[in-house]
Chains A and B, each alone.
Chain A
């Protein structure tokens, strides 16, 4: 079957203060699509519209090639996992899983599901005091009992501490890869997006502002606001000074000039550059070898702060630049110290539209 796991076309919805505008989105079979966006972007409303809780003003939704636009939630065959996993507190784990079964035949699978998710020993327990990991497994077992065509995740990890969050995310990623059931995962967490997403769509103010392979979206944000949301530390205003024949664009930023390997934007003049702090290499005493493919800038530390194993530095190199060192490599550094920063020409990303 070649049908797309999920196909949303021209979806529009106005719901109180929230609105979705002409959203197109598709996910292929077995794919995990992460929908990333700031709070209030409309991600949850979008997900619940796919699940069938809101009737769109326009557009259509198909799941596994089946048009579900007019169907109620109970007929859409989606597995819906929410924050805290949404287990029914008045029922035991086994009863929760059995509630997912749509038929007698499905009910006979409950015991097998409990074993598969390693929660058979919790069958008679009520969910309230389960660990987050146990809750996630019980919720997945319950959703699976309803034999969904598509999983929908609405920030299931939002209330967890960092360690649990990471452990549960790894477990979920493993389960989704093994089950082959496609999923849409809504989050505002970059880590979730990178760890889970085959593909990524960034939503802001009710529209999809960028989509693509997860790594690609993070490497090449489509706009200044996307770059900002994706946590790009250095977003710099600049002016194109030369469009060299060597395929390198030269952009004046502050009192320095940076080279970047990027096609020139349509209109010359003002641009914005995005540089991830992780792509800036620093070398205290010895200057980094300038191999032609690097921008090498002489700078002066203006601020530094140690955060766990990393030290975050702000360097004045004609413009303020944020970079990281390992904390132990930063020992002995202090404000006013001089060092050189090297940035590969490929790591300087020109944001289209400049100012916007």
Chain B
């Protein structure tokens, strides 16, 4: 932690040089995984003609679905930041009883099948759910057939990424920096906003990017809680069932391009910042 400033420059030189045969075998094995990811996506992109794509892009239902997916994922990332970053800070900085349990709860959505998640969410946020019913009665807020419901479903499956990445970001900060800031006259809120959060920025931004990506690609939980109005993944499924592969492929390509483009932009924002992380990291 202390001496790592020295390693920062020498890190490349310190990498061990693996043997050629080991490199060859590892590259062969790794390529299988790369191919598994890239081949389906490339063949998908190659399937619809440009005319199909333009036609799909002009369809107002398709545009609405894409917009709904985009808006839902953006809102989800925003909400995840507002409720997830504080939890990440608590997990990294304070030692409270049950901290391990809280950390485990955060991870639960990643191991719950998304059909199960959707049904469970429906029970709570549905028409007769313990939150769904009073929310409608008191505030007129419905979680079925609304953007709010889409965000709830997306948030359930994608929030862990924000909490975990932000937590790593906070843990990389030397707590003494925060202490020094206090002695310089900053109150705890100022220290968090001016020192801690900027230093954890890369972790937080990475988390929000992953949350956005996970949210825009979620199908199951969203479809169970909110089938209509349709997000893009739900619409692709519907088109696939009703009209077959070719019709679904055009919308699929549009969603893929949109999601990837935004993912790349957000990643750039997260990693492009030149501010180094905590001391010597």
Contact = CB atoms under 8 A, between A and B. Distances in A.
A86 B177 contact: yes
Contact of B183 (A74, A126, A158): A74
A82 B182 contact: no
A198 B179 CA distance: 27
A51 B181 contact: no
B276 A78 contact: no
Nearest to B2: A159
Given A76-B183, A146-B183, A86 B174 contact: yes
B199 A90 contact: yes
Contacts of A99: 181, 184, 186, 194
Contacts of B2: 83-84, 158-159
A51 B185 CA distance: 12
A89 B275 contact: yes
Main secondary structure of the interface of A (DSSP, over half): mixed
B181 A88 contact: yes
Given A83-B176, A84-B279, A89-B277, A53 B182 contact: yes
Contacts of A128: 5, 276, 279-280
Nearest to B278: A89
Interface string A125-138: 01011000000000
Interface in A83-102: 83-84, 86, 88-90, 99-100, 102
Contact of B179 (A53, A79, A102, A129): A53
Contacts of A143: 183-184
Contacts of B184: 74, 99-100, 102, 142-143, 145-146
A187 to B, nearest CB: 16
Given A89-B275, A89-B277, A99-B194, A72 B187 contact: yes
B198 interface: yes
Given A89-B199, A89-B276, A128-B276, A51 B179 contact: yes
Nearest to A100: B184
A53 to B, nearest CB: 6
B275 to A, nearest CB: 4
Nearest to B194: A99
A233 interface: no
Contact of B185 (A100, A126, A152): A100
Size bracket of the B interface: 20 to 34
A90 B182 contact: no
B133 interface: no
Contact of A73 (B174, B176, B182): B182
A152 to B, nearest CB: 8
Interface in B1-53: 2-3, 5
Interface in A156-192: 158-159
B177 A146 contact: no
Interface centre among A48, A74, A146, A158 (most CB of B within 10 A): A74
Given A126-B276, A128-B5, A86 B176 contact: yes
A64 interface: no
A89 B179 contact: no
A146 B185 CA distance: 7
B182 A52 contact: yes
B264 interface: no
B2 to A, nearest CB: 4
Contacts of A145: 184
B276 A90 contact: yes
A80 interface: yes
A143 B2 CA distance: 21
B257 interface: no
Interface in B175-209: 176-177, 179-187, 194-195, 198-199, 201
Interface string A94-129: 000001101000000000000000000000001011
Contacts of A82: 176, 179-180
Interface centre among B179, B194, B195, B280 (most CB of A within 10 A): B179
Contacts of A129: 5
A129 B201 CA distance: 20
Given A53-B179, A90-B199, A146-B184, A159 B3 contact: yes
A99 B176 CA distance: 16
A88 B177 contact: yes
B199 to A, nearest CB: 6
Given A146-B183, A154-B176, 13 more contacts: A48-B179, A79-B183, A82-B179, A84-B279, A86-B180, A89-B279, A90-B275, A99-B194, A100-B184, A128-B276, A128-B279, A142-B184, A146-B184
Interface of B: 2-3, 5, 174, 176-177, 179-187, 194-195, 198-199, 201, 275-280
- Going nearest first, the 4 A-B pairs with the smallest beta carbon separation are A73-B182, A80-B183, A159-B2, A86-B180
27 contacts: A51-B183, A52-B182, A53-B182, A72-B187, A73-B182, A74-B182, A74-B184, A80-B183, A82-B176, A83-B2, A84-B2, A84-B174, A84-B279, A86-B174, A86-B176, A86-B179, A86-B279, A88-B177, A88-B195, A88-B199, A89-B199, A89-B277, A90-B199, A102-B184, A146-B183, A159-B2, A159-B3
Interface of A: 48, 51-53, 72-74, 76, 78-84, 86, 88-90, 99-100, 102, 126, 128-129, 142-143, 145-146, 148, 152, 154, 158-159
